[in-house]
DNA sequence: AAAAGTCACGAAAACGGTTTCGTGTTAACA
DNA sequence: TGTTAACACGAAACCGTTTTCGTGACTTTT
């Protein structure tokens, strides 16, 4: 990189002190108009830009927010990033994005790098491996260092920090209720392993809705997908039973379930209603299009970053963790059209 | 944030100088073993972490790479990010991600922020508005400041920097050829406005393939989509003509074209073959699934970042811009299954 | 016993800015 | 004419770290 022009260069070149240059560039009243004009003209001419690092060091703040996500090639998370970036930008912050790839080790490392002063605060959605391990000491360390931290979507209660979540239980309930209202009785649930708590919460909603209709949850039509293995194969198992509805906790599972249904000669939505989660492109463009629970990733990201910035900027106040719950909406599409 | 422990704190507390502490923490031979042990123990106990900002200022490098993308909620770009992050991480860099939202103004601003010393180099895919304006002075400014810059996918030739692109002409050719090989003759092209040069290049490939078969490109079955207006409506126009193939320059257009075909009672792939671009989730999960040109976003991102880091780390050598061309593959799916 | 070398550490500059607190000069005032 | 205030600028400290170059106290060599 070319040698950058600094305040020192200007000072030397113009025969004044660095303080004078600094003040002149800030239009301070302490400096005479002629001097100011001279300095500003020179700075302009040579395209002077103040060095961010120096300012950050002096001000002890970076105006950067760290973000750690489990993955990025994923509609929900990319939407959240967008929300975070938007919110951050509006307040003059930039974001530094990292990925844990669902790995505990990478999450710990990334957290360490980010907490070395490179960022003013951190937003995280926890890796699934970490959720499985239940080892949250790296987060607790952050909290005790009082580095502002906001968790979203995949959160755990015993980390004392701000959180933004969707009402997963409510959403699971809403989805299941919708199927029941369509006259479906044997509703399969395609979910994640138990340690991914959002899956567990959505399942609670599912069970709650069933109980209200005096239907007993049937373990045979519930499957917890192991992402390492063949997903479709696992889904086929629930189709051995006779079912008339499917609630999948994400849109990929929903799409795969529709494929399996097709194999079995079941017509969606006539024979089978399908509902997914996360309103992504698959749901929109598959055919038939899939009814989903919209998670409002953009809103989540934006709320998370606003919470974080608030925490960063007024740290004087006594700390009391906040939890924001984003409500989710049912987005009706073809896969649950009532057979008229 | 809590008051962080610094080298000064340690020095004062232990009654030694900061230089001693610094050296002790680096296990320098200049320091006696007892002193080292004492200092290291203290540092460990109080969880000392060197301040990144100070190091960055001193070393004049941040180990951060800036990335500016037109958008994120998009399969291709999120895949590229993944590639960039992966490659960067492997070399000890982090990434700072920003979005231009296809806006010229935002691109200029973002570039300004990043070039203030916050990053060691920048990777960009140009905003469509900028491509339309043809105003590239902000990039040329970067180049003349000798800030390492790599452009990818949406590039322009007269910016003198490294570039990573897909072979768009070849890909367009490959896609069209595939349709022709399936016996299709009247192939519609659904593309972007001319200023988005990837669209234009893919069109060249399309025309080349047609010419080889002595087919004249027919303006009536080519549509340049204006994203502001109703996309489906625009696609319907080409269906007024009798067509038996569709080449869409991205997967959204391909999916929408299939919807229109359905409206018109055309069966895919029996009556109509459809081929898209970007191997995303829509192509994979739509039904019928869509044959596409896989763009290898991950590879692009990785190559781009490797090129950039090389440029950053050995800047001694004389500058000669490199251009890496990534070849693209045809991913066969249901939408172009030969009618047997 | 003088010269040289080793050891263990400290002082100070440097990275690029901001900011507080002088200070010398001039002008206004008593 | 002496005091004071305003003006325009500079010196120096500071943010946290690294690194070069001393330097004083011993030890070894001749």
pLDDT tens digit sequence for B41-92: 999 999 999 999 999 999 999 999 999 999 999 899 999 999 999 999 999 9
Distance CA B16, CA B39 (A): 9
pLDDT of residue A185: 94
Asked whether residue B7's C-beta has any atom of DNA/RNA strand D within 7 A, the reply is: yes
In this complex, do A1 and B146 lie within 8 Å of one another by their Cβ atoms?
Answer: yes
CA of B45 to C1' of C16 (A): 32
What is the arithmetic mean of pLDDT over B301-320? 89
What is the arithmetic mean of pLDDT over A298-318? 90
How sure is the predictor about A50, in pLDDT bands with cuts at 50, 70 and 90? very high
Which two structure tokens, joined as six digits, stand for B290?
């869509």
Percent of chain B whose predicted confidence (pLDDT) is above 70: 99
- Is pLDDT at A340 greater than 60 in this prediction? no
pLDDT of residue B315: 67
How sure is the predictor about A319, in pLDDT bands with cuts at 50, 70 and 90? confident
- Is pLDDT at B324 greater than 60 in this prediction? yes
Nucleotides of strand C within 7 Å of the protein's CB atoms? 7-12, 14-21
Asked whether residue A30's C-beta has any atom of DNA/RNA strand D within 7 A, the reply is: yes
What is the arithmetic mean of pLDDT over A185-213? 94
Average pLDDT score, chain B: 94
pLDDT of residue B96: 96
Average pLDDT score, chain A: 94
Nucleotides of strand D within 7 Å of the protein's CB atoms? 7-21
In this complex, do B117 and A4 lie within 8 Å of one another by their Cβ atoms?
Answer: yes
> In the complex, which nucleotide's C1' lies nearest to the CA atom of residue A11?
D10
Question: Where in chain A are all domains bearing CATH 3.40.50.2300?
Answer: 62-165+297-326, 168-295+330-336
- Is pLDDT at B157 greater than 80 in this prediction? yes
Residue B229 sits at the chain A interface (C-beta within 8 Å): no
- Is pLDDT at A242 greater than 60 in this prediction? yes
Residue B255 sits at the chain A interface (C-beta within 8 Å): yes
Q: From the centroid of its chain, how far is CA A98?
A: 12
With residue B235 as reference, give the H or E element that holds it.
helix B231-240
The alpha helices in chain A, defined as continuous H runs, are: 7-14, 18-25, 33-45, 52-59, 75-90, 104-114, 128-133, 137-144, 168-181, 197-212, 231-238, 251-263, 281-285, 297-313
A60-64, A256-260, A302-306, B280-284, range with the lowest pLDDT:
B280-284
Q: Which residue has the tokens 């257009």?
A: B253
Looking at the complex, report in whole angstroms how far the Cα of residue B76 sits from the nearest Cα belonging to chain A: 9
Give the residue from chain B lying closest to A318, CA to CA.
B1
Q: Where are the beta strands (DSSP E) in chain B?
A: 64-69, 94-99, 121-124, 149-152, 162-166, 187-191, 222-224, 245-248, 273-277, 291-294, 323-326, 329-331
* Model pLDDT for residues B205-218, shown as the tens digit of each residue: 999 999 999 999 99
pLDDT of residue A116: 87
- Is pLDDT at A143 greater than 70 in this prediction? yes
How sure is the predictor about A183, in pLDDT bands with cuts at 50, 70 and 90? very high
CA of A287 to C1' of C11 (A): 75
Superfamily of domain B61-165+297-325: Response regulator (3.40.50.2300)
pLDDT of residue B279: 84
* Model pLDDT for residues A59-106, shown as the tens digit of each residue: 999 999 999 999 999 899 999 999 999 999 999 999 999 999 999 999
Give the residue from chain A lying closest to B282, CA to CA.
A282
Asked whether residue A60's C-beta has any atom of DNA/RNA strand D within 7 A, the reply is: yes
Which two structure tokens, joined as six digits, stand for A186?
């044997």
What is the arithmetic mean of pLDDT over A235-254? 95
In this complex, do B82 and A99 lie within 8 Å of one another by their Cβ atoms?
Answer: yes
How sure is the predictor about A339, in pLDDT bands with cuts at 50, 70 and 90? low
Tell me the CATH number for domain A62-165+297-326. Answer: 3.40.50.2300
Rg of chain B over all Cα atoms, to the nearest angstrom: 26
For chains A and B, CB pairs below 8 A equal: 141
pLDDT of residue A1: 75
Q: Count H helices, E strands: chain B? A: 14, 12
Query: What residues in A contact B6, CB-CB < 8 Å?
Result: none
Residue A79 sits at the chain B interface (C-beta within 8 Å): yes
Question: Where in chain B are all domains bearing CATH 3.40.50.2300?
Answer: 61-165+297-325, 168-295+330-336
pLDDT of residue B317: 67
Do residues A193 and A224 touch, judged by C-beta distance below 8 A?
Answer: yes
Residues sharing a CB contact under 8 Å with residue B22, sequence separation 6 or more, in sequence order? B7
Instruction: Name the architecture of domain B168-295+330-336.
Output: 3-Layer(aba) Sandwich (3.40)
How sure is the predictor about B29, in pLDDT bands with cuts at 50, 70 and 90? very high
Nearest CB among A53, A96, A118 relative to B57 is that of A53
pLDDT of residue A316: 62
- Secondary structure of residue B41 in the 3-state scheme: helix
Residue A330: how many other CB atoms lie within 10 Å: 17
């Amino acid at each position: 990189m070319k040698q950058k022009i600094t305040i020192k260069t200007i000072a030397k070149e113009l025969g004044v002190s660095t303080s004078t240059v600094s003040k002149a560039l800030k239009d301070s009243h302490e400096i005479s108009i002629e001097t100011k004009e001279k300095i500003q003209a020179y700075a302009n001419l040579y395209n002077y830009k103040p060095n961010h690092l120096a300012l950050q060091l002096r001000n002890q703040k970076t105006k950067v927010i760290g973000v750690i996500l489990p993955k990025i090639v994923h509609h929900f998370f990319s939407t959240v990033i967008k929300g975070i970036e938007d919110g951050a930008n509006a307040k003059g912050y930039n974001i530094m994005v990292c990925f844990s790839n669902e790995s505990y080790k990478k999450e710990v490392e990334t957290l360490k790098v980010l907490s070395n002063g490179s960022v003013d605060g951190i937003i995280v959605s926890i890796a699934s491996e970490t959720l499985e391990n239940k080892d949250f000491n790296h987060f607790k360390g952050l909290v005790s260092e009082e580095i502002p931290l906001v968790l979203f979507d995949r959160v755990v209660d015993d980390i004392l920090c701000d959180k933004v979540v969707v009402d997963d239980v409510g959403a699971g309930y809403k989805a299941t209720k919708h199927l029941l209202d369509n006259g479906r009785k044997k509703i399969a649930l395609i979910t994640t392993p138990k340690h991914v708590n959002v899956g567990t919460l959505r399942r609670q909603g599912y069970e709650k809705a069933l109980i209200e209709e005096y239907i007993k949850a049937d373990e045979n039509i519930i499957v917890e997908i192991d992402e390492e293995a063949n997903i479709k194969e696992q889904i086929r198992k629930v189709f051995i039973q006779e079912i008339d509805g499917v609630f999948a906790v994400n849109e990929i599972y929903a799409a795969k379930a529709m494929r399996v249904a097709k194999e079995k000669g079941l017509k969606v939505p006539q024979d089978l209603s399908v509902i997914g989660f996360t309103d992504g492109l698959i749901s929109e463009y598959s055919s038939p299009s899939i009814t989903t629970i919209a998670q409002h990733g953009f809103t989540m990201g934006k709320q998370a970053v606003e919470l974080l910035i608030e925490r960063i900027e007024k740290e004087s106040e006594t700390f009391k963790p906040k939890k924001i719950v984003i409500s989710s909406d049912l987005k009706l599409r073809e896969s649950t059209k009532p057979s008229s």
